A and B are shown apart, each in its own frame.
Chain A
Amino acid sequence: MADNLETTVAFWYLAIAAVGAGALMLVARNPVHSAISLVIVIFHVAGLFVILGAGFLAVAQIAIYAGAIVVLFLFTLMMLDMRRLPEERVTHRQIWLGIPLGILLAVEGVVVSIGTPEISESIKGAFPPATVSDLGGSTQALAVALFNEFTLPFLGASVLLTAATIGAIVLARRVEAHEQADFPQAASGSATNDTAAQADAAEPVLEESAR
């Protein structure tokens, strides 16, 4: 991968900055600062994709993760009153699960990076660089994979996501008084009431945080 000096310098900068911002995201007390750090991580990982010649993936990463998902996080976080959040410890009890999993991941990384020829052959996947350039670029390779080879899983994932979206809309919708007779179980269901209660509670919180 380290073809020349520029790539090497860029790789080390991106790698160190991504890990540093990731650590910052974990230890930041303020959730908004955490979200901004996450954006920085996403940017640098996108830079790593560019080095690997996956321009489409890099741009998709920025457009979808930074441009849509984290913006939605921030949108929600801005509704919260930060000063009312309890002072929490940086480490939680999950650390006892986290340490072994982290060690496992590190060992995996070492095994793959210094691994045998069989391992490095098996992780190249269906689209090694030669195949990608034959197809005309990473965008074309992705299109071939999505729409020829994996059409059915792709459609299945789309249907699942649509179903999840519709489910979220149904749960978030407040049941009107005259509709409650038609949907007795929905009106008494905890999910609907919780959402309505949260929406009511959000307004005074917002006012206070702005003050």
Chain B
Amino acid sequence: MDFWAWLILITKVLAVFLLFAIGAMPLVLLERWILGRMQSRYGPHRVGWRGTLQTAADGLKLGIKEDMIPGQSDKGLYWFAPVMMVVPAMAAWAIVPFGPEVEMGRTIGLWIADLNVGILFFLAMGSLGVYGVVMSGWSSNSKYAHLGALRSSAQVISYELVMGLAVLAVIIYAGSLSLIDIVNAQAGLWFIVPQLIGFLLFVFAAVAETNRAPFDLPEAESELVAGFHVEYSGMRWAFFFMAEYANMLLMSAIVATLFLGGWRGWTIPGLEALTGVIWFLLKCGLFMFGFFLLRATQPRFRYDQLMNFCWKILIPIGVVNLLIAAGLRMAWS
């Protein structure tokens, strides 16, 4: 790699990081506005113009808050757990394609890395997120955190299988593990059309994996206070919140890439890259809104319902869907 290749790579990494770090703040505000609107209340409306500075104020508050570490906790793991939440969620962004290739002296792809095992990398990073939950729950030495962590690890392990089955069907259609190839394979037809079942499975699994309502049993504030991160405060708590948002955004990006054609859409000749990025962000935004909508409208599942739904309904459907996809693919070729 020469100097320019390094420079381009570092620029890309910084751009994705900043997009995430700055992009999360308006999204939090948007979520609270939408939730307020849906529940017939104001939502944030005091700080700044109509509450626009609310997230910044909250961030400042978290930053200057005292950092509490429970006396009976396992200090090392307690310190490391928030890091373990955020790092996998951010690392998986390396493979997300934001747009097509652009010509600027040299060909630059609007993604950090085109791994030939890209989608598996996403699944691997997704399965690592559970370590943060388990470590925080165990090291806090608290009943509520412990129960939240137990629930979360069982839930994430179970729904990972559903997600894997849905992704496998897409891989069969695309014939590649690289996300770029998967997007290019959707040039004619988005995979949501032949893989509507896979799409629905993936969306269920995505909501469960991010521990969002109606699958937010690990947090379940009415019974477990706040679940696995109940003992955390200040910036450490903010890390958990950031990881949740990073995971939601990541899931939205992956759904858009796998099933909605990624950056593909109507385009103006000469501006493919710009329209591509806009299409991609629009598709992500659609799913972020879906997350908010679900949280505002759906009651929480009971724990046995959650597990039965996964193992007795979603996984059998996923296996049959995979077999049908493989059969159709064989019939075509």
Q: Which A positions have Cβ atoms within 8 angstroms of B?
A: 30, 32-33, 36, 39, 55-56, 59-60, 62-63, 66-68, 71-72, 74-75, 78, 137, 139, 206, 209-211
CB of A201 to closest CB in B, whole Å: 17
Across the interface, A72 reaches (CB within 8 A) one of B74, B138, B157, namely B157
Can you list the 4 inter-chain pairs with the closest CB atoms, starting with the nearest?
A: A67-B127, A63-B124, A210-B143, A62-B124
Contact B127–A74 (Cβ < 8 Å): no
Q: Are B143 and A63 in contact (CB under 8 A)?
A: no
Q: CA A206 – CA B128 in complex, angstroms?
A: 25
Choice from A32, A39, A59, A137 contacting B138 with Cβ under 8 Å: A32
The residues of B that contact A78 with a CB separation of less than 8 Å are 134, 137-138, 146, 149-150
Are B77's CB and A68's CB within 8 A?
no
Q: Please name the residue on chain B nearest to A210 by beta carbon.
A: B143
A136, B183: Cα distance in complex, Å: 20
B53 within 8 A of A: no
Q: Cβ of A74 and Cβ of B142 under 8 Å apart?
A: no
**Given known A-B contacts A36-B77, A78-B138, A137-B116, A71 and B146 have beta carbons under 8 A apart:** no
Asked whether, in the complex, the Cβ of B120 is within 8 Å of the Cβ of A211, the reply is no
A-B contact pairs, 26 of them (CB 8 A): A30-B74, A36-B77, A39-B131, A55-B116, A56-B117, A56-B120, A59-B117, A59-B120, A62-B124, A62-B127, A62-B128, A63-B120, A63-B124, A66-B128, A68-B157, A68-B160, A71-B157, A74-B134, A75-B150, A75-B154, A78-B134, A78-B150, A137-B116, A139-B117, A210-B143, A211-B143
Residues in B with CB closer than 8 Å to A36 are 77, 131, 135
In the complex, the answer to whether B143 meets A71 with C-beta atoms within 8 Å is no
Contacts of B249 in A (CB 8 A): none
Q: Which residues of chain B in 92-148 are interfacial with respect to chain A, using CB atoms and an 8 Å cutoff? A: 115-117, 120-121, 123-124, 126-128, 130-131, 134-135, 137-138, 141-143, 146-147
Which of B223-280 touch A at CB < 8 Å? none
Quick one: given A36-B135, A63-B124, A78-B138, are A71 and B153 in contact (CB under 8 Å)? yes
Q: Does chain A have a CB within 8 A of B288?
A: no
CB contact between A32 and one of B77, B124, B130, B147 (< 8 Å): that residue: B77
Output the least CB separation between B114 and chain A (Å).
12
Whether B208 sits at the interface, judged by CB under 8 Å, is: no
**Least distance between B167 CB and chain A CB atoms (Å):** 11
Residue of A39, A67, A75, A139 touching B124 (CB-CB under 8 A): A67
Closest Cβ–Cβ distance, residue B175 to chain A (whole Å) = 11
Given A67-B160, A71-B134, A210-B141, 14 more A-B residue pairs with CB atoms under 8 Å apart are A36-B135, A56-B117, A60-B120, A62-B124, A63-B127, A66-B124, A66-B128, A68-B160, A71-B130, A74-B138, A75-B134, A139-B116, A210-B142, A210-B147
Given contacts A62-B128, A63-B123, A71-B157, contact A55 B117 (CB under 8 A): yes
B115 to A55, Cβ gap below 8 A? yes
- Max count, chain B CB within 10 A of own CB: residue among A56, A60, A67: A67
- B156 shortest CB reach to chain A, Å: 8
Q: How far is the CA of A67 from the CA of B142 in the complex (A)?
A: 24
Report Cα–Cα, A209/B149, bound state, in Å: 14
Minimum Cβ distance to chain A for residue B162 (Å)? 14
How far is B145's CA from A210's CA once the two chains are assembled, in angstroms? 9
**Number of interchain pairs (Cβ within 8 Å):** 74
CB distance from B29 to the nearest CB of A (A): 33
A32 to B77, CA, bound (A): 10
Are B153 and A75 closer than 8 Å at their CB atoms? yes
CA distance A39 to B80 in the complex (A): 14
Complex alpha-carbon distance, A137 and B120, angstroms = 15
Query: Roughly how many angstroms separate A210 CA and B150 CA in the complex, as a whole number?
Result: 12
Which residue of chain B lies nearest to A137 when distances are taken between CB atoms in the complex? B116
How far is B128's CA from A209's CA once the two chains are assembled, in angstroms? 25
- B177 interface hit (Cβ, 8 Å): yes
How far apart are A18's CB and chain B's nearest CB, in angstroms? 17
Nearest chain B CB to A8 CB, angstrom units? 16
- Which chain B residue shows the least CB distance to A43? B128
A72 contact set on B, CB distance < 8 A: 157
Shortest beta-carbon distance, B306 to chain A, in Å? Answer: 16
- In the complex, the answer to whether A59 meets B153 with C-beta atoms within 8 Å is no
Whole-angstrom distance between the Cβ of B273 and the nearest chain A Cβ:
27
Looking at B116, B142, B147, B154, the one whose CB has the most chain A CB atoms below 10 A away is B116
Q: B264 to nearest A CB, angstroms?
A: 25
Task: Tell me whether A59 and B121 are in contact (CB under 8 A).
Answer: yes
B138 touches A71 (CB 8 A): no
Q: How far is the CA of A109 from the CA of B160 in the complex (A)?
A: 38
The interface residues of chain A lying within 8 Å CB-to-CB of B130 are 67, 71
Tell me the bound Cα distance from A128 to B111 in angstroms.
31
Q: Closest Cβ of chain A: how far from B116's Cβ, in Å?
A: 5
Q: What's the nearest-Cβ distance from chain A to residue B142, in Å?
A: 7
A209 contact set on B, CB distance < 8 A: 146
